[in-house]
Copies of this chain bind each other. A is one copy, B any other.
Amino acid sequence: MGNEAAKKETILASASVRVTVWNEHTDQQRNGAVAEVYPHGLHTAIAEGLHDLLGGQATVATATLDQPDQGLPQALLDNTDVLLWWGHKAHHQVTDDTVARVQARVLAGMGLVVLHSGHLSKIFVRLMGTSCNLRWRKANDRELVWTVHPAHPIAQGVSHPIDIPQQEMYGEFFDIPRPDELVFVSSFTGGEVFRSGCCFTRGNGRIFYFSPGDELYPVYYHPEIRRVLANAVLWAHNPAPSLTITAVSPQSPNDWYLDRPSMSSS
């Protein structure tokens, strides 16, 4: 684990977070109603928000499904600290190989922020182990996002509640494992409630699911929503070395300490 000097350095270092915003960005997004709201794609709007709020704390790139390796080659993942995921109609086009690559990086320590309809993305479903189904309705509900964990870093600096004038309704029961931390709960015009901001840890990776956001409403321009996403990026960033779990232990209980690290950095 190195010497004292190295340890101090680790504590003091505050490297810039390398962020990638991934979006399926299919033809359906490039045209028509979606393009009117997000002319350069949802990923661009999300990335701009992060760039504005995080400034020198992060470098923000984007990636889309139509790029080589579905926009997520191993080299990019290896150099991404936090990945944001927006998908909806093209979940099935993401290959199992891509999903496996992303999952491995999350377990090793990459942060993952899953947005809105990404609740049914293959990567989220695989990391959760449940159906991730929920109730929904597209009917111009007003969404109010309430903080139920004000001490959480992701809740800093946002109103209580955040007021989103127009939104798709997402309601309970939301079939996810119990979140490690529940940060936000939303209500809708119809009276439904939803656990809209949920933290999970899987392996060495921190995962945040955030439901507000839609391709037909200008939610990703909302300053409070942008603030939540910026907070989420900083929270999901795990500066520790990648986690490698070693199953091999010393073969006598009396000498385990001779080669002990079961977790090592890559």
Residues of A within 8 A of B (CB): 1, 4, 7-8, 10-12, 14, 52-57, 103, 107, 109, 126-131, 133-142, 144, 146-151, 156-161, 163, 169, 171-175, 177-178, 180-182, 185-193, 195, 200-206, 223, 227, 230-231, 234, 238-240, 243, 245-254, 256-257, 260-263
Chain B residues within an 8 Å CB radius of A8:
52-53, 55
A106 CB to nearest chain B CB (Å): 9
A88 CB to nearest chain B CB (Å): 14
Chain B residues within an 8 Å CB radius of A195:
148, 185
Chain B residues within an 8 Å CB radius of A204:
150-151
Does B169 contact A240, Cβ atoms closer than 8 Å?
no
Which of A56, A231, A252, A253 neighbours the largest number of chain B CB atoms within 10 Å of its CB?
A253
Given the contacts A130-B203, A151-B201, A191-B187, A251 and B137 also touching, CB distance less than 8 Å: yes
Chain B residues within an 8 Å CB radius of A177:
177, 180, 200-202
Does B156 contact A130, Cβ atoms closer than 8 Å?
no
Given the contacts A192-B146, A251-B139, A160 and B127 also touching, CB distance less than 8 Å: no
Does A10 contact B157, Cβ atoms closer than 8 Å?
yes
In the complex, which of the residues B138, B174, B175, B203 contacts A107, with contact meaning CB atoms closer than 8 Å? B175
